[in-house]
Amino acid sequence: TGGDDLDRGVVSFLEPNLLDLDGLDKIVSTSYEGVSRIQIDFETNWDMEKALEDVKLAVEETQNLPSELEEIDVNRRIWRDRVTNVVFSGPFSVDQLEKYSDEFLQMLYAQGISKTSIRGVNEPVVRVTVPESKLIKNGLTLRELSNSIKIGASSKPAGETSDGLARLKAGVEKTEELDLANITARTLSNGDNILLGDLGYIRTEIVPVNQFFQGKNPAIIMRVDRGQEGDAIGIQQKVEETIETFQNSMPESLKIELSGTRSEAIKNRLNILISNGVIGLVLVLFFLFIFLSAETAFWVAVGIPIALFASFGLMFIVGISINLISLFALIICLGIVVDDAIVVAEHADYRATSLKEDPFISSRNAAVFMGLPVFTATITTILAFGALVLVGGRFGRLIADIPYTVIIVLIASLIECFIILPNHMYHSLKNKLKRDKWYNIPSKKFNEKFLVFRENWFKPFILLVLAKRYFALIFMLSLLLCSIGLLVSGDVKWRFWNPPEIGRLTANILMLPGSKRSDTVYMIKELERANKEVASQFEKKNGRNPITFQMSQVGGYEGRGISGAENKEKDLLGSFTVELIDADLRPYSSFVYLAALQDEVNKSALLETISFRTWGSGPGSDGVSINLIGDDAFNLKRAAEELKAGLSIFPEISALEDTQSYDKTEYIITLTDRGKKLGFTIEEIGSQLGDRLNGVEALTFLKGNKSGKIIVELSDDDLKGDFIYTSKVRSKRGDYASLSDVVEVVSRFGFSAITRKDGQKLVNVTGDLSEDNPERAASVSEKIKQEILPRLEERFGIISQVSGLAEQEKRFLDEALIAFFICILGIYLTLSWVFASWTRPLIIMITIPFGLIGALWGHYIYEISLSMFSIIGLIGMTGIIINDAIVLISTYNIHKIKMDSLNAILTATVERLRPILLTTLTTVFGLAPLLFENSRDAQFLKPTVITLVFGLGFGMIILLILVPSLIAIQSDGFKVYKSFVRFIFGSKINERNGWKNIGSFIGFAIGATIILMVSIIYSSQVLFSMFVIYVCLGLIALWAFWLYQVRSRQFFRKKLI
């Protein structure tokens, strides 16, 4: 059955019931010859067991499905991930290589590695070929012959004896040609048997489903996978050890290689993170021992392993593994994890040395006084990173370990800070106050110099900032606008997903119908020649052979196949795979090599499609993916072809395909009047024709570890181009008639596949977009959206949707924006509760957007585009950048009880300089080593590092300038507010001027209310505009009246500050 028929007759009936399922995310169906596949995605964290039962029930309840439908399988996809491919090759036959691979497979099973699959082996097919003339002579059909073979060649369990000591088995399995020839096909009325061997000839073929080659030698590929809990590095190590043991007992000419290996890339990235993390840890410890006494620094530093080991335990409990993302989250926490301890320990040290408190009292007071601000700072950081949990989709799942890991570490750090640290601080301060230790000399000397700097340089600077507070605010706002200008002008670019490069390239080919297997082999040889030439050119230019592995395949494709090739003959398919040397060993990207290879290939005249693709890491989708939606499949195909032609002019785009390729010629048959009179039905004729054209699979069997099948078919002479006019069909009564007499035949071209998404018919056009030049890639994407797609919609009357990576980008940004606003709201409510004020949190939170200054300039300096990892860094920075501001404001509130606002903020800023500087330095330098990492495997993480390092580093400067300025400005505003209230409602002022102030205000309020009510009642925009003008002029008049009284000294007794 063709794809279009299946789409109309099956999918269109199933989808309405499926679209009503709870928790549904999307449905994508594809119908091609003989098969329809419906892929149903549910929301993240949905109960998949319930979903499976719901789908089965919806399928069972579907009505009007065709009776010819053989079966509907409903299966839940099981997650598997490739660890490596083990490639066996050499001057051996495929059967011999298969024996070697079977022996190796048993060794893997012994190691506990069971998720494997083998490609490139031969499968036995037994063909029973019968001429049509003999079927007619003996009154048989192919289906009846198939049933006879199924009965005569298979065996079935028949039960057990009553004592349970023996089993009964009915029949004997027959797969050999001689045994099959003796099966009874039909028994005549006189008792004679017509044997299968009397009707036709039986032959066994060893069919190569797909063949692999390394040069001239055949090859077999064994794929090794892991489950969701599997350890890729551990499995890889076991495979390598097994190969080493196995190779010792095998011929030297047997070559065993690993390809598509991911554990090496994983180990490289983990090693990069670990080595940079160790350097970051050393830098954190250095600053701790410089700023704090050795005893204090030691106990603060002890909090790092305590918090990390506690985190490992909690991560194990909640099911988080040590992987690339969770390890990166731990490195982010290296500096943050000691922030709480620094604040408490530094304050205890300050109270013991400066305020001369007893060590026990100072340790207790430090924990008490700093408890609320430290707890609040931790909660705000948890809220910021916790907001990332709200990001769903593929990229949400990618970064899911970051928020969970950071939250676990912060909780462990908070517990250590208040339960373990105070006791250690008591003992360390007691020892420190007895006498000076030699190991404290560096810290003592540094802090003496630091104290001089703080009093002689920093304090006068803050006094200047407070005196010029409005200028400081305007300067910071100007700097923020200039920084945003970097993004608006394009100096800092946006590149949503920049995955680590995998140097693996694939060229999949599809030959035109009618081509032979030899034509496919010829095209594969051309790809091998072109690759050899390109590799030679790159080696001459760069001094190193770029190729580490290559593999050819005939009869299948590698990686992602060509769209619409699902039902094509296997002989028309082929692929060529190349693996390049490590990205750090070459100055060019895999896209550059791919472009050179693409230009070098000479395309055969029999080539229908060739698709060059690079392989990437992570969940990214096609760089170009456009859905064309409409009702007419032929119109959609024409639109898709024009779109591909329009996109092919861009050299940055490769591997252009669409999901709706043309199919074989389709013959539509309708029953004639004569056919109806003879008792034929269209279903009956269709069934017989299907059996004749495709053969009938009578039986499947196992032979060793391979599966084979027995197929009953007509001879080639009976299936020539004119068979429709010469074939005979049989009615239920057993009468034969020429097919041309009972049906009318109309031919047309159809499509090999019909795709629907959420019930709508669509064609998906895809391609790879090179992002070696992010600016050019962004320009191409914009041109597609603004020019090409609108023109296509207007001409063909269709709807276009940008999907793929662009769709994922939109979802990520939308959900990240929601997460950011929820994070901001949570932080604001937390701070409002802690400070018992609705305005004080605004001063703290206003520092958040100013963190963009450092983040944007950091990306500009390093010439790195903003990406999704920059967004992650910005959301995380939202919680971290305000931590020091929280502690500073808490200290200001304590001092404000004893002095005026300006002196209180001055004292608090000077006093908190050391802990602010130390917490910033430990956080920034804990991550800083990754800034100088040149490996390409670390580049995709750099946007987060740059955002945090530059954002927090510059955020400290913002904090020390902006927060004191805003506190002073808030104090000014509060004084003005109090004076204005006294101006309106103060009894003494009103008595002095005859109650003019309050009378004017009441008159103004009554007039505004009347105009507003009238404008609402009559829904008049003119009256509402008059209301706005009236309010503005009234407020200006009141302000002028208040200013007049201030200047004439009717109001204030003393001069405003």
Does residue 542 form part of some domain?
Answer: yes
The answer to whether residue 740 sits within a structural domain is: no
Provide DSSP, 674-725. Answer: HHHHTT--HHHHHHHHHHHHH-EEEEEEEETTEEEEEEEEE-GGGGSTTHHH
Summarize the confidence of residues 942-965 as an average pLDDT. 89
Q: Are residues 472 and 506 in the same domain?
A: no
- CA 869, 870, 873: angle at the middle one, nearest 5? 90
Q: Is the same domain home to 826 and 956?
A: yes
Residue 628 included in any domain: yes
Highest mean pLDDT among 559-563, 591-595, 689-693: 591-595
Asked if residues 269 and 322 have their Cβ atoms less than 8 Å apart, the reply is no
d(CA 937, CA 268): 8
- Rounded to whole angstroms, the Cα distance separating 114 from 903 reads 72
Q: Kindly provide the residue ranges of all beta strands, DSSP E only, lying in 696-817, ordered along the sequence.
A: 696-703, 706-714, 728-730, 736-738, 743-751, 753-757, 760-769, 799-802
Mean pLDDT of the 972-980 span: 77
What confidence score (pLDDT) does residue 296 get?
Answer: 82
Q: What is the mean pLDDT of residues 781-801?
A: 87
CA neighbor of 933 nearest in space, from 395, 261, 331, 284: 331
Report helix angle 913-927 to 883-896, nearest 10.
180
- Is 425 in the same domain as 535? no
Stretch 514-539: mean pLDDT: 91
Top-confidence residue, 1044 or 504: 504
Report pLDDT for 964. Answer: 92
Lowest mean pLDDT among 51-65, 545-559, 690-704: 690-704
932 within a domain of the structure (yes/no): yes
Give the span between the Cα atoms of 41 and 28, in whole angstroms.
9
pLDDT band at 1056 (very low <50, low <70, confident <90, very high): very low
Residue 182 or residue 527, greater confidence: 527
Q: What is the CATH number of the domain that holds 559?
A: 3.30.70.1430
Q: Which of 21, 93, 129, 56 is nearest to 713 (CA)?
A: 129
At 642, list the tokens: 């024009």
Q: What is the pLDDT of residue 21?
A: 86
pLDDT digits (tens, 9 = 90+) for 644-699: 888 888 877 877 878 777 666 666 778 888 878 777 787 777 777 777 777 888 88
| Residue 473 sits in the same domain as residue 599 | no
Answer yes or no: do 298 and 331 share one domain.
Answer: yes
pLDDT of res. 162: 62
**Is the four-CA dihedral 746, 751, 753, 757 of positive or negative sign?**
negative
Tell whether 819 and 959 lie within a shared domain.
Answer: yes
- Pick the more confident residue, 980 or 548: 548
Total domains in the fold of the chain: 3
Residue 711 has pLDDT above 50, yes or no: yes
pLDDT value, residue 460: 93
Identify which of 87, 33, 389 has the alpha carbon closest to the alpha carbon of residue 214: 87
The pLDDT of residue 226: 84
Give tens-digit pLDDT for 368-407.
Answer: 888 888 888 889 889 988 888 888 777 788 888 888 888 8
Q: Which two tokens stand for residue 940?
A: 């995709």
Q: Which residue has the higher pLDDT, 73 or 34?
A: 73
**For range 449-471, the mean pLDDT:** 92
Q: How far is Cα 278 from Cα 806, in angstroms, rounded to an integer?
A: 37
Each residue's pLDDT tens digit, 168-224: 666 677 778 888 888 888 887 777 788 888 888 888 877 666 789 888 889 999 989
In a domain, 429, yes or no: yes
User: What is the mean pLDDT of the segment spanning 515-539?
Assistant: 92
Q: Are 908 and 886 in contact (CB under 8 A)?
A: no
- Return the residue matching tokens 């967004």: 871
Contact status, residue 59 vs residue 14, Cβ threshold 8 Å: yes
**pLDDT value at position 1057?**
37
Looking at 87-101, 504-518, 639-653, 690-704, which range is the least confident one?
690-704
| Residue 1021 near residue 994 (C-beta atoms within 8 A) | no
pLDDT for the residue 267: 77
Q: Which two tokens stand for residue 592?
A: 């550059």
Burial of 839 (0-12, 13-18, 19+ CB in 10 A): exposed
What tokens appear for 794 in the block?
A: 């207007």
pLDDT at position 1054 is 44
Q: Are residues 888 and 1022 in the same domain?
A: no
Look up residue 574 and give its two tokens: 């082929």
Q: Is residue 870 part of a domain?
A: yes
**824-847 mean pLDDT:** 87
Whole-number pLDDT of residue 725 = 66
Specify the residue for token string 């060019």.
588
**Mean of all residue pLDDT scores within the chain:** 82
Closest CA to 292 of 246, 252, 249, 341: 341
Range 221-234 average pLDDT: 82
Question: Could you tell me which of 202, 158, 160, 200 has the C-alpha nearest to residue 179?
Answer: 202
Give the pLDDT of residue 458.
93
Structure tokens at 517: 């297997």
159: confidence class by pLDDT, cuts 50, 70, 90: low
Q: Flag whether 1008 is in a domain.
A: yes
List the alpha helices (DSSP H) in 228-293.
232-247, 263-291
Residue 744 lies in a domain: no
Q: Is the pLDDT of residue 899 over 80?
A: yes
Domain with 1023, as residue range(s), is 986-1047
Domain with residue 821: its CATH number is 1.20.1640.10
Residue 452 and residue 320 share a domain: yes
pLDDT above 80 for 622: no
pLDDT for 841-886, tens place per residue? 888 888 888 888 999 999 999 888 888 888 888 888 888 888 888 8
Closest residue by Cα to residue 701 from 188, 310, 154, 292: 154
CA–CA separation, 995 and 572 (whole Å): 98
Same-domain pairing of 530 and 428: no
Cβ contacts of 665 within 8 Å, gap of 6 or more: 747, 748, 749
What are the pLDDT digits (tens) for 33-51? 778 888 888 887 788 888 8
Do 350 and 480 belong to one domain?
Answer: yes
221-235, 399-413, 798-812, 979-993 — which is least confidently predicted?
Answer: 979-993
Domain boundary among 773, 808, 843: 808
Direct distance between the N- and C-terminal alpha carbons of the chain, in angstroms, rounded to an integer: 89
Q: Could you give the percent of the chain with pLDDT greater than 70? A: 91
The answer on 419 and 520 residing in a single domain is no
The model's confidence at residue 161, banded by pLDDT at 50, 70 and 90, is low
Query: Which of 974, 1007, 1024 is the C-terminal boundary of a domain?
Result: 974
Q: Pick from 940, 974, 1008: which residue ends a domain?
A: 974
User: Is 843 found in the same domain as 787?
Assistant: no
